[in-house]
Structure 1
Amino acid sequence: MCSYQTRIEKAKKAIEDAEYILLGGGAGLSAAAGLTYSGKRFTNHFGPFIEKYGFTDLYSSSFYPFETQEERWAYWAKHISLNRYEVGKTKLYMNLFNLVKDKKNFVISTNVESQFEKGGFPSDKVFEIQGDYSYLQCETGCHDKLYDNELLVKEMIDKTVECQIPSNLVPKCPVCGGEMDVNLRKNQFFVQDEKWYESDMLYKRFVEKAETKKIVFMELGVGFNTPGIIRYPFEKMTYYSEDATLIRLNKDHPEGLVENKNKTISFTEDMEEVVSVLIE
C-alpha cells in the first residue's frame, strides 16, 4: 500500500476529475460518525434493559425474543429514538456531502438512520435499501404501506415503566389487525413501498448513465454482512468501467479484487480524518 499522503493525493485527483460519484455506505460509516452500537453509548442509554435482560450491545439485543409486545416495543422505541431521533447531523456525513456536492452523485446505503439526508443529501439521491428506522410496517407485510413512528416512539418512551409500555400503545396493523414491526430488512416480510421502488429506479438510472463516464465509487465502511448490495457490485462496476476509480475506506477489510489493484485506493486510517483531509 502506498503512503498515506500519496493515497490522499490520488483520491483527491480522482474526485476532482470525476463526472459521477457513487457513494456506498455501510455500518462502519455510521460507527465512524459516532453511532456505535456498543460501549458507553449503549450502556449510558440502556441501563435498565442491560440489568433486566443481560444485553451487551444494540446489535445482538435487537434479536432478543421478548415474551410480550409491551417489552418488545419498550426496547425498540428506545433503540429507534437513540439512533434516529436523538442524534442530529454528524460531521462525517456533512463532510461527505461537501466533498461530492458539486459532482453528479448518488448514495446507496445499508444504514437505516437517515444520516445521509441529515447531512445534506437530497432524498431523491439516497437509496436506503435495507429500510428506515422512521417507519413501521405490518409484521407479515400484508400490505405495502409504511407508517411514520416518531410521535408514537416518543410516547412509548415517555410511558415506559420497568422496561414495558402500556398495552394500549402496542401498534397493530390497520389492515389485518396483526402485529407491527420496524421497517428493517430481516426476513421475507420486509415491505418495499412505492418510495423504495422509486429509489431503486433512480439508483439504476444513475449507474446506467455513469457506467461509460469518468466515475468514482466511494465505498464507506462496508463489511461482509451484505456484500452483494454494495461491496461486490462496486468491485464489478470498477472492473468493467474503463474510467472508474474505487476509493475504499475500511479499517478492517481494505482488500479487494486483485484485478482492480491499479484502480483502487484503500484507506485503513480514521474515516473522519480521511474525509476531512479530502475536502481541504
Structure 2
Amino acid sequence: MFSNRKITTSTKEYLDNINRTKELLQNAEAVIIGAGAGLSTSAGFTYTGKRFEDNFSDFTQKYGFRDMYSGGFYPFESLEEHWAYWSRYIFINRYRDRDNGTYKKLFELVKDKDYFVLTTNVDHQFQKAGFDKHRLFYTQGDYGLFQCSKPCHNATYDNETVIRDMVKQQTNRKIPARLIPYCPVCGKPMTMNLRADNTFVQDDGWYRASERYSDFLRRHKGLNVLFLELGVGINTPGIIKYPFWQMTAQNPKAVYACINYGEAYAPSKIAERSICIDADIGAVLEQL
C-alpha cells in the first residue's frame, strides 16, 4: 500500500528535474507514456472560455451552460438538437482544431525510443502528431467513432463524413432529421463511443490495443523503464496513475516522472525514483 504523504516539486529544483528527465529519456530502454486531459489542455484543447464561446454561443444563450462538458450531458428536446451540439463538439476537438505543437514535441522526444502510449484522451491527437497507432491504447473511446446506444453488438463506426455533414447543414441549433445516425443492426439511435457507463463498446480494435499494451509491459518487465505521466488527474487514477506507481515500485530499475500543472506528485514509497514537475506540459516538453 502507498502512504498518503505526497512528494511534490516544492522539494526539488525545477531545472534539476528537467536535466534528470532528459537523461532518463536518453538512457531508458523503454518509455511508457500515460496521458490524461491535462496534455490536451496544454495543447490548446480547452473546453471553456473563448474557444467554447466562439463555437457554442447560440447554445449558451438558450441554455446557459458555460463549458463543453456540461452541454454534452444536457437533455436536449430532440435528437436533431442533440446532434447539432455534438457534431460541433466532435468537429472542433477531433477533426478541425490542431495541436499547438505540444503533441508534436512529445513525439520528437520519443520517436526513436521503444515507446508505448496509454491514454484516456479521446481526441486522436497522438496519431495526428505522428505516433504509431500500433503503439497507442485509447482506453476511453474515440470522438471519431459511433456505437449503438443499446448496445446490441460490439462494433464501432467511423463518423467523420456524417459529422461534417451535420456541422455544414445544421440551422437554428438543429440538424436535418435524415442525418440522425441509427444502429444498422437494431435501429436504435447511435451514440458516441465514449466510456460514460456500462454501455461503452470495447470493439475488436480496443481489445487488440489492450493486448499490445499488455505484451509491451511483459517484454519490458524488469528493464530500465521510464513511466512518463502527463496531465493525468485524480478522476480515474486506476487507469494510469495507480498502475504506474505500482509498476515503478515493483521494478527497481524503473523511474516515474509526472509532469502536471497543479497536480504533480508521487507517493513516498517511490519518492527516490520519482520526478515531479509542477508546470505547463508544453513548456516542459520545449525545454526537454
Alignment of 1:163-174 (within 5 A): 163-174=173-184
Structure 2 residue runs without a partner (length 5+): 1-10
Equivalents in 2 of 1:269, 1:218: separation in Å? 14
Match of 2:198 among 182, 188, 192: 188
Partner of 1:97: 107
Hey, what's the Cα distance between the residues in 2 that align with 1:251 and 1:273? 11
Say whether the 8 Å CA contact 2:121–2:140 is kept in structure 1.
yes
Offset of residue 14 of structure 1: 1.2
Read off the aligned partner of 2:242 and give its amino acid letter: Y
How many aligned residue pairs are there?
278
Q: Which residue of 2 aligns with 1:53?
A: 63
Name the CA distance, whole Å, in 2 between partners of 1:241 and 1:141.
Answer: 40
Q: CA deviation at 1:88?
A: 2.9
Counterpart in 2 of 1:70? 80
CA contact (8 A) 2:226 2:256 kept: yes
1:76 positional shift:
0.4
Is the Cα contact below 8 Å between 1:90 and 1:115 reproduced in 2?
A: no
Judged with a 3 Å threshold, the aligned counterparts in structure 2 of structure 1 residues 245 and 30 are, in CA distance, closer, same or farther, namely same
Equivalent residues in 2 for 1:153-168 (5 A)? 153-168=163-178
- Taking the aligned partners of 1:14 and 1:257, their CA distance within structure 2 comes to 20
Q: Paired residue for 2:93, among 83, 92, 99? A: 83
Whether the 8 Å CA contact 1:111–1:128 is kept in 2: the answer is yes
In structure 2, give the amino acid aligned to 1:120.
G
Q: Give the distance between the partners of 1:9 and 1:96, measured in 2 at CA.
A: 16
For residue 135 of structure 1, the aligned residue among 138, 142, 145 is 145
| In the alignment, structure 1 residue 231 sits paired with structure 2 residue 263 | no
Tell me the percent identity. 43
Deviations 1:53-86 (A, max 9, x none): 1121011211111121111000000000010001
Partner of 1:177: 187
Q: Distance in 2 between matches of 1:141 and 1:211?
A: 37
Query: What do residues 29-64 of structure 1 show as CA deviations (whole Å, max 9, x unaligned)?
Result: 100000001011111111111111112101121111
1:90 Cα deviation from its structure 2 partner: 3.8
* 1:133-158: CA deviation from partner (whole Å, max 9, x where unpaired): 00100001211111111110111111
**After the TM superposition, which segments of 4 or more aligned residues of structure 1 sit over 4 Å from their partners?**
none
Contact (CA 8 Å) 2:152, 2:185: kept in 1 or not? yes
2:232 to 222, 234, 242: 222
Deviations 1:135-192 (A, max 9, x none): 1000012111111111101111111111111111111111000010011001111111
Q: Which residue of 1 aligns with 2:259?
A: 249
Give SS of 2:31's match.
strand
Contact kept? 2:145, 2:157, Cα under 8 Å: yes
Is the CA contact (8 Å cut-off) linking 1:90 and 1:119 kept in structure 2? no
Residue aligned with 2:256, SS: strand
Query: Which of 107, 117, 137 does residue 127 from structure 2 map onto?
Result: 117
Name the Cα RMSD after superposition.
Answer: 0.9
Tell whether 2:236 aligns with 1:211. no
**Preserved contact between residue 229 and residue 259 of structure 2 (Cα < 8 Å):** yes
Question: 1:89 Cα deviation (Å)?
Answer: 4.3
Q: Secondary structure at the match of 1:137?
A: strand
Counterparts of 2:262 and 2:103, CA distance in 1? 20
